[in-house]
Each structure stands twice: as structure tokens, then as C-alpha cells.
């Protein structure tokens, strides 16, 4: 069994706690208008076996210490879930912490992979069904299936929400987000990420239409103010 891996980042500091090795898996069903990794949308030929990745991860164990580890990202890693399950079993034998960075839009077997990971970093595309489809090109059905499995797993959860001008940068939206997140268990951290245009040049190189070519970047100060309003609402809803 081989996985289609786009790249591996060593010494990652933002994709989970501690120092982490981030494996970026190819393939994604979503076509998010703000995506900065369009080169990972399509599945490429498999280029890593489980053993090869485990040996690579073992070399970085001294840097992980107590809280670091490996993060699966992409793309959408859950499209290669069988590989993730086998890889995770081997990493657990090495006592390596595993984080799964996902939009929850895979091909099932969520309960099996969730048994093996330690943390889920969940990307919330949009809370509304219509807004989700408009932004990603897909229905929200699969993401909701994943959230159901996530709630049953009792795993730690970090939430990420990209804030985009004229899409979800309103008090009305963050109120809906606070209500939506109330029904997700074990949330430890919530981040607002201001939309940026890093990676926009990739679209031209790949010959892909950039639907947000003229979209302005999100003002960081406005994003921070929205977060403050959101977190107050969220705390009230959660007692």
C-alpha cells in the first residue's frame, strides 16, 4: 500500500501542539474558493509506504518530546483513510502523538481512524448548508457525518474558521458559528484565520480559475474584533 503524499514539513509549529512533522496528503473533493493548496486537489501516484513514513517520523522523535508529534494534513487526508489507519497503528507502537487536520470530507471509516488519533483539527468551512456548498462546491453531508463520529469518539478538538470579507465576516455569522460549535464535543481551542492571498499564484501556474482573484484580504484587526465577539457568545452558550 502506498500513499500519495505531496510534501512533508519538519518542525511545524502551527498544526497541533509542540514541534510536529506535517504530512500533506494529496486529494480533496472540496474546491474551496480560498484554498491555498490547489496543487493537492488531485490524487497523484503513490510515493510512500507505511514503513517508509514510520522510519522517517522516528528520526524526529527526539524533537517531539511530550506534546509534539505527527500531523496528517492536505488536501484531505481522510480520502486515504485505509493508509492512515495502518500508518497510525505503527506510529502508536512508537508512542508518537497523532493529530488529524481535516475538513471531515473523506470516504468513511471515521470511527476507526478516530480511535487512533489524539487530536482533531477541524476546518469549519461554513455553518449554513447553502453557504457551505457555495464556498466548497460540495454538499455538507459528509462533514456532518464526520462530526457525528467525532462526537462519539471523545477526542480532543481544535476548531479553525477562515474569515473571508463579504462571506462570513459579520456578527450574524459568528453568532451562528457559536451555536453550531455548541454541538461539537471536547473543543479545546478555536481559531479565526483571516483570509489571505498567499498561494494565489499557484492557480495561474496550474491553469485553474481563481474565483477569489479580486477578493481583498481580510483585515486582521476586524478579524480579531469578530473573534472577541464570537468568544463571548460561545462562552455564554457553554455556561
Q: Are 217 and 162 in contact (CB under 8 A)?
A: no
The residues near 121 (Cβ < 8 Å, ≥ 6 apart) are 15, 16, 71, 99, 100, 101, 102, 157, 158, 160
pLDDT of 209 > 80? The answer is: yes
The residues near 137 (Cβ < 8 Å, ≥ 6 apart) are 30, 31
**Confidence (pLDDT) at 174:** 96
Produce one character per residue of 120-144: b if its CB has 16 or more CB atoms within 10 Å, e if not.
bbbbbbbbeeebbeebbebebebbe
**Confidence (pLDDT) at 199:** 81
pLDDT tens-digit profile of 85-119?
999 999 999 999 999 999 999 999 999 999 999 99
pLDDT of 134 > 90? The answer is: yes
Give the CB-side neighbour count of residue 113, counting CA atoms within 13 A.
27
pLDDT tens-digit profile of 143-194?
999 999 999 999 999 999 999 999 999 999 999 999 999 999 999 999 999 9
Pair type for strands 156-163 and 119-123: parallel
**For the residues 138-143, what does the mean pLDDT come to?**
97
pLDDT tens-digit profile of 13-52?
889 999 999 999 999 999 999 999 999 999 999 999 999 9
d(CA 179, CA 167): 18
d(CA 69, CA 50): 16
pLDDT of 239 > 80? The answer is: no
**Confidence (pLDDT) at 53:** 97
Which stretch of 75-79, 133-137, 158-162, 203-207 has the lowest confidence by average pLDDT?
203-207
Q: Are 108 and 65 in contact (CB under 8 A)?
A: no
pLDDT tens-digit profile of 212-225?
998 999 999 999 99
d(CA 214, CA 195): 13
pLDDT tens-digit profile of 52-80?
999 999 999 999 988 999 999 999 999 99
**Confidence (pLDDT) at 66:** 85
pLDDT of 4 > 80? The answer is: yes
- 3-class DSSP assignment, residue 37: coil
Whole-model pTM?
A: 0.96
Give Cα separations from 24 to 134, 184, 185 (angstroms): 25, 25, 26
**Confidence (pLDDT) at 55:** 96
d(CA 42, CA 172): 35
Amino acid at each position: 500500500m502506498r500513499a500519495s503524499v505531496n510534501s512533508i514539513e519538519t518542525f511545524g509549529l502551527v498544526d497541533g501542539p509542540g514541534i510536529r512533522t506535517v504530512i500533506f496528503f494529496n486529494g480533496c473533493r472540496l474546491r474551496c474558493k480560498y484554498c491555498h493548496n490547489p496543487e493537492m486537489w488531485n490524487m497523484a501516484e503513490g510515493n510512500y509506504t507505511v514503513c517508509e513514513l514510520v522510519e522517517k517520523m522516528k528520526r524526529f522523535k527526539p524533537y517531539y518530546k511530550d506534546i509534539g508529534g505527527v500531523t496528517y494534513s492536505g488536501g484531505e487526508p481522510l480520502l486515504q483513510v485505509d493508509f492512515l489507519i495502518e500508518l497510525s497503528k505503527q506510529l502508536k507502537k512508537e508512542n508518537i502523538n497523532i493529530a488529524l487536520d481535516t475538513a471531515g470530507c473523506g470516504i468513511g471509516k471515521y470511527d476507526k481512524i478516530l480511535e487512533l488519533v489524539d487530536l482533531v483539527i477541524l476546518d469549519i468551512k461554513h455553518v449554513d448548508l447553502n453557504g457551505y456548498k457555495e464556498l466548497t462546491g460540495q454538499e455538507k453531508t459528509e462533514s456532518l457525518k464526520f462530526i457525528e463520529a467525532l462526537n462519539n469518539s471523545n477526542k480532543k478538538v481544535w476548531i479553525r474558521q477562515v474569515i473571508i470579507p463579504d462571506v462570513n465576516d459579520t456578527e450574524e455569522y459568528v453568532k451562528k458559528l457559536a451555536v453550531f460549535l455548541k454541538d461539537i464535543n471536547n473543543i479545546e481551542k478555536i481559531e479565526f484565520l483571516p483570509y489571505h492571498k498567499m498561494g494565489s499564484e499557484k492557480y495561474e501556474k496550474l491553469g485553474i480559475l481563481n474565483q477569489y482573484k479580486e477578493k481583498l484580504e481580510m483585515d486582521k484587526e476586524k478579524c480579531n474584533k469578530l473573534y472577541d465577539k464570537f468568544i463571548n457568545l460561545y462562552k455564554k452558550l457553554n455556561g
